[in-house]
């Protein structure tokens, strides 16, 4: 770690407390060499309306996704993105964003696919920063390009593909979408646009734990005792479990991946980014409709 | 669709976007977003009149007024959704003052002609397409009755 971690007491109980920073910690360290702040939002223009001083913008649609293939950018693309964002391989990156860090967690997950070591979330994201009355600026930084190495993505440890999910059946699955999407009443989040799945419902045996349960009203992560109630007591997760989380296109589930992996210490957690827009359109895969998880079909 | 069929005020908006580099197109969209007018008094207390645009990720509501065959579009969206506000503002400025026929004959693909799909992504642009479709539907309903 290039920059010391935030020793704030609310993070100490988490399995990887170095993955979170508080607004106080960040505000004191803005524009410290070796630290780059990244904003990643659902709304592509929100950064332009005001952002944390010195923060660069990385957009999930236009920067992290490959424009042609349904996949992420490759090692070369990531190196180029890092270079123009002023990020070196050993830079401490702090990501924050709108919607309770929904897209920030997604960006953090993509950074992790490329093995960027020190990447953290600003607890509470934009909402908390604003509620605290902290400052924004309109001024966009002009980062000095860096020499970022070309590192290929490692899709094998924290990313699950559809065939991985098929062989995973029988192990814990967490469906982080809304209850309406889980039960099959609809294929998109309430009030969200149709993103194209031909069938509604959920993957057999998946437990429904909407992603936002992990955050408190002020947008910060809930304490460990409450997370344990939700994911261990509620969804039945146990130490040593091999877990796959999914949502609609893999963004809300990266938030849950962050919680399970870095806050609760589950070691084998993968995000199925194909998620419902893929599973709900695949031919001949099993689907369950209704509020019960349902059984894994015998093979 | 031939070029001549686009009313001048919409063609001007389109040409303004197309004359800019990708990054500056976002800035122009932000300007539109900031220019989205407040609702006039007569509509401010009438949320019942407004239709939610379900195709947009953020809560945006539109209302079409038709008087003497002239269209006016009103929209409201929160400040934390500047992209959606920008889309609404383009349509509010671009459609208001046109005749009902001019709006109904406008191509449903007008949002795709602004050169924004690379800057904001095609998925996000769908919100504007939905908004235009709903505006047209409101006009059809109003001109029938």
pLDDT cut 70: percent of chain A above it: 96
Can you tell me the mean pLDDT for A255-268?
98
Q: What angle do CA B52, B59, B127 make, to 5 degrees?
A: 75
pLDDT cut 90: percent of chain A above it: 87
Specify the pLDDT at position B51. 82
Beta carbons within 8 Å of B69's beta carbon, 6+ residues apart = B99, B100, B101
Question: Does B46 or B138 have the greater pLDDT score?
Answer: B138
Taking CA–CA distances from A194, the nearest residue in chain B reads B55
Can you tell me the mean pLDDT for A127-134?
96
With contacts defined as CB-CB under 8 Å, which chain B residues touch A48? 26-27, 30, 82
List alpha helices for chain A, DSSP H.
23-29, 75-84, 98-113, 125-131, 162-168, 179-183, 224-227, 252-258, 275-279
pLDDT at B3 over 70: no
Structure tokens at B2: 């031939």
* Complex confidence, ipTM: 0.80
Pairing of strands A207-208, A173-175: parallel
Specify the pLDDT at position B1. 46
CA torsion A276-A281-A286-A292 (nearest 10°) is 40
With contacts defined as CB-CB under 8 Å, which chain B residues touch A277? none
Q: Binning pLDDT at 50, 70 and 90, where does residue A81 land?
A: very high
C-alpha A165/C-alpha A171 separation (Å) is 9
Specify the pLDDT at position A190. 57
Task: Please state the pTM of the whole predicted model.
Answer: 0.90
CB-CB contact of A241 with A130 (8 Å): no
Phi-psi region of A54 (alpha: psi -120 to 50; beta: other; left: phi over 0): left
Q: Binning pLDDT at 50, 70 and 90, where does residue A118 land?
A: very high
Question: Does B124 or A119 have the greater pLDDT score?
Answer: A119
Residue A247 a catalytic site member: yes
Question: Does B4 or A38 have the greater pLDDT score?
Answer: A38
- Nearest-CA distance from A194 to chain B in Å? 7
Residue to substitute from A45, A98, A219, A277, interface B, most B β-carbons within 10 A? A45
Residue to substitute from A40, A44, A98, A251, interface B, most B β-carbons within 10 A? A44
C-alpha B53/C-alpha B61 separation (Å) is 6
Q: How far does Cα A111 stand from its chain's mean position?
A: 10
- Nearest-CA distance from B4 to chain A in Å? 32
Taking CA–CA distances from A62, the nearest residue in chain B reads B121
Can you tell me the mean pLDDT for B129-144?
91
Question: Does A98 or B53 have the greater pLDDT score?
Answer: A98
User: How do residues A97-111 score in pLDDT, each as one tens digit?
Assistant: 999 999 999 999 999
pLDDT at A193 over 60: no
Of A45, A61, A98, nearest to B30 by CB-CB distance is A45
DSSP, res A274: T
DSSP, res B71: E
List alpha helices for B2-65, DSSP H.
8-18, 22-35, 41-44
Q: Binning pLDDT at 50, 70 and 90, where does residue A194 land?
A: low
């Amino acid at each position: 770690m290039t920059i010391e971690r935030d020793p704030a007491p609310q993070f100490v109980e988490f399995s990887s407390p170095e993955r979170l920073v508080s607004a106080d910690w960040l505000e004191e360290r803005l524009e410290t060499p070796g630290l780059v702040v990244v904003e990643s939002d659902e709304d592509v223009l929100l950064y332009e309306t005001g952002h944390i001083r010195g923060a660069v913008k990385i957009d999930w649609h236009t920067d992290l996704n490959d424009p042609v293939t349904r996949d992420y950018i490759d090692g070369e693309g990531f190196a180029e993105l890092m270079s123009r964002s002023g990020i070196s391989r050993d830079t401490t990156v702090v990501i924050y964003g709108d919607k309770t860090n929904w897209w920030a967690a997604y960006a953090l997950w993509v950074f992790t696919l490329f093995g960027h070591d020190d990447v953290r979330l600003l607890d509470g994201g934009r909402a908390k920063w604003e509620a605290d009355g902290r400052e924004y600026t309109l001024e966009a930084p002009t980062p000095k390009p860096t020499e970022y190495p070309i590192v290929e993505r490692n899709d094998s440890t924290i990313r699950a593909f559809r065939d991985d999910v098929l062989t995973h059946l029988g192990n814990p699955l967490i469906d982080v979408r809304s209850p309406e999407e889980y039960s099959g009443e609809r294929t998109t989040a309430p009030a969200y646009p149709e993103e194209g799945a031909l069938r509604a419902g959920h993957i057999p045996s998946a437990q429904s734990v909407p992603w936002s349960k992990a955050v408190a009203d002020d947008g910060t992560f809930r304490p460990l005792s409450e997370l344990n109630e939700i994911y261990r007591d509620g969804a039945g997760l146990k130490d040593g479990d091999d877990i796959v989380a999914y949502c609609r296109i893999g963004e809300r589930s990266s938030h849950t991946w962050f919680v399970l992996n870095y806050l609760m210490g589950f070691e084998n957690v993968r995000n199925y980014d194909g998620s419902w827009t893929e599973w709900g359109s695949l031919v001949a895969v099993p689907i369950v409709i209704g509020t019960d998880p349902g059984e894994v079909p015998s093979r | 669709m031939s070029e001549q069929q686009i009313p001048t005020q919409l063609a001007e908006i389109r040409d303004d976007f197309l004359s800019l580099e990708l990054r500056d197109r976002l800035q122009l969209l932000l300007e539109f977003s900031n220019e989205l007018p407040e609702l006039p008094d007569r509509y401010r207390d009438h949320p019942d009149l407004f239709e939610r645009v379900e195709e947009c990720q953020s809560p945006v509501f539109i209302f079409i007024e038709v008087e003497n065959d002239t269209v006016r579009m009103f929209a409201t969206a929160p400040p934390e959704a500047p992209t959606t506000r920008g889309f609404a503002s383009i349509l509010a400025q671009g459609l208001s003052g046109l005749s009902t026929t001019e709006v109904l004959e406008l191509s449903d693909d007008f949002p795709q002609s602004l050169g924004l799909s690379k800057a904001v992504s095609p998925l996000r642009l769908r919100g504007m397409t939905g908004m235009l479709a709903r505006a047209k539907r409101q006009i059809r309903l109003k001109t029938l009755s």
